[in-house]
Amino acid sequence: MKRSDFVARVKQHFDELPGQIRVAAGYVLDHPEDVALLSMREQARRAGVPPATMTRFAQQLGLTGFDEVRAIHAAALREAPVAYGGRAENLLRRHREVGDAGIATEMLARLSGHLTEVALPSRVEKLVEAARAMVAARRIYCLGHRSSFPAAFQFNYLLSFFDDRSVLLDATGGVGHPGMLDSGPGDVLLVICYTPAARHVVEATAFARRQGVRVVAITDSEANAIGRLAHLTLLASSQSPSFFDTVTPAFAVCETLVALIAGLHPGDVAASVARTEEKLWELGVWWREEDALPAGASASRGDEAASQAVPDPARAEAE
């Protein structure tokens, strides 16, 4: 069995699995490299379940035991061997130990690790699959809520430079997503949603599936509501050492998708981008370098005012 078939089977039966077995299933879906490389006991420890639960999980899927699950993942890993990047842990508690520069370095290291994961060959393969589906689509709907909305907006904005099939769903004014009312087979929904999922995003995604729309999800888990609704899941971690979830990996996935779509697109992408840029300049969207700065905002005057407003610690101590 290929891992893609294994994942499809787990997602199909996920809601039917008993509590502890469901926890094991979620761990296996989200940590494919660990499944291939770590012992069953170590995986059980990390998942927080007894080792026997891992065996029962495999048997629940009609497999002989967990060794078969590991074999499936080991075969997938052999096809795409990749080392993980380092990850920072407990960054906030380390502030006093490493200082401001250390915090910044560890934060960036964590983000770098997430981007390394996005670049795993198995995940790149899914990115290419998603891009091909979007190139062939009649329309491409983009959905994200709260912190995920900027990534959906970025995807839609960049794609609009050479493709007019993208529809950004933003539910302005609380009217839902009227743009999806005529959606159907042949359309693709790109949904960006992390755990815990926004209720209206789950409902909108379920509606899209009922309409026959192919769902491509950018999320942090195959096992969450969006991951289980998706036809194709693009994993991108949201974990951050700070108090907020990061959307940097989601941005990376969206921008990579646009780059892939541009390369696969049957139209004259270069000419379309050039026409769009020309119109944006004509509309005055961007500031021309030869334009004079707005009145009363010269750099020298602003710098002088700023220097007067900011106290000088050395001068204050001397006084």
The pLDDT of residue 153 = 95
The pLDDT of residue 193 = 93
pLDDT tens-digit series, residues 228-255: 999 999 999 887 766 667 899 999 999 9
Contact between 143 and 207 (Cβ < 8 Å): no
- With a cut of 70, which residues of the chain have pLDDT below it? 77-98, 106, 171-178, 241-244, 297-319
Helical pair 248-264 and 121-136, crossing angle rounded to 10 deg: 50
List C-alpha distances in Å: 240 to 21, 111, 169, 193.
27, 8, 27, 16
What is the rounded CA–CA span in Å between residue 290 and residue 284? 13
The pLDDT of residue 309 = 58
The residue type at 58: A
Helix residue ranges per DSSP H, the chain: 3-13, 19-30, 32-37, 40-47, 51-60, 66-79, 95-118, 121-136, 149-159, 199-210, 225-229, 248-264, 269-282, 299-309, 313-318
Burial (CB count within 10 angstroms: exposed 0-12, middle 13-18, buried 19+), residue 72: buried
pLDDT tens-digit series, residues 4-17: 888 888 998 898 89
The pLDDT of residue 84 = 28
